[in-house]
Structure 1
Amino acid sequence: MASTTTTHSAAEAAAQREKARRAPAKWLLAPAVIFLLIWMIVPLGMTLYYSFRNYNLMMPSMNGWAGIGNYDYLWTDPTFWSALGVTLLIVVVCLAVTVGFGMAFALLFHRNFVGRGVARTLAVAPFFVMPVVTGLIWKNMLFHPAYGLLAWLSRAVGLEPIDWLAQFPLTSIVIMISWEWTPFAMLVLLTGLQSLPEDQLEAVRLDGANKWHEFRHIVIPHLGQVLYVVVMLESIFFLTSFAEIYTTTSGGPGTATTNLPYYIFQGTFAQYDIGVSSAAAVAAVILANFFAIFLIRFVAGNLNAGENR
Structure 2
Amino acid sequence: MPAVDRDVAGLGTARAIAFVAPALLLVAVFLVFPALWTLYIGITDYQLTGPAAARPSVVGAENFTRALDDPLFTNSLWLTALFVLGSAVIGQNALGFGLAWLLRGVRPRLRRAVEAFVLLAWILPGPVVAYLWFAVLSRDGGTLGLLLDRPTTAWLVEYPMASLIVFNTWRGTAFSMLLYTSALAAVPPSQLEAGRLLGASGSRLVRDVVFPHIRGHVLTNTLLISLWTANDFTPFLLTAGGPNHESEVLPVLIYRQALEGGQLGYASAMSLLLLVGNLLVALGYLRLLRRRA
> Could you tell me the TM-score, scaled by structure 2's length?
0.89
Partner residue in 2 for 1:276: 266
Partner residue in 1 for 2:112: 117
Change in Cα spacing, 1:161 to 1:154, as seen in structure 2 (3 Å) is: farther
What is the aligned counterpart of 1:286 among 254, 262, 276? 276
Superposed counterparts of 1:13-162, under 5 Å: 15=5, 18=8, 20=10, 23=13, 24-25=15-16, 27-61=18-52, 63-94=56-87, 95-113=89-107, 115-140=110-135, 142-155=136-149, 159=150, 161-162=152-153
Moved over 4 A (4+): 21-26, 298-301
* Whole-angstrom CA distance in 2 between matches of 1:135 and 1:45: 33
CA displacement 1:50-88 (0-9 Å, x = unmatched) = 111111222225632212221232122110111111111
Secondary structure at 2:146 match in 1:
helix
Q: CA RMSD in A?
A: 2.3
Contact 1:52 1:68 in 2 (8 A): yes
Instruction: Give the C-alpha shift of residue 154 in structure 1.
Output: 2.3
CA displacement 1:217-249 (0-9 Å, x = unmatched) = 221111122212211110111011112x22111
Change in Cα spacing, 1:119 to 1:55, as seen in structure 2 (3 Å) is: closer
Point out where structure 2 has 5 or more consecutive residues left out of the alignment.
Answer: none
Partner residue in 2 for 1:264: 254
CA displacement 1:114-134 (0-9 Å, x = unmatched) = 733323322332111222211
Instruction: Give the C-alpha shift of residue 97 in structure 1.
Output: 0.8
Contact 2:96 2:180 in 1 (8 A): yes
CA displacement 1:165-204 (0-9 Å, x = unmatched) = 0100011111111110112111110111122222222333
Superposed counterparts of 1:179-190, under 5 Å: 179-190=170-181
* Whole-angstrom CA distance in 2 between matches of 1:167 and 1:97: 21
Q: Which structure has the larger Rg?
A: 1
> Structure 2 counterpart of 1:177, which letter?
N
CA displacement 1:98-141 (0-9 Å, x = unmatched) = 1011111000111124733323322332111222211111112x
Partner residue in 2 for 1:307: none
Q: Number of paired residues?
A: 288
Partner residue in 2 for 1:174: 165
* Whole-angstrom CA distance in 1 between matches of 2:118 and 2:229: 20
Contact 1:169 1:257 in 2 (8 A): yes
> Could you tell me the TM-score, scaled by structure 1's length?
0.85
Taking only the aligned residue pairs, the percentage that are identical comes to: 23
Point out where structure 1 has 5 or more consecutive residues left out of the alignment.
Answer: 1-7, 305-309
Change in Cα spacing, 1:187 to 1:22, as seen in structure 2 (3 Å) is: farther
Secondary structure at 1:223 match in 2:
helix
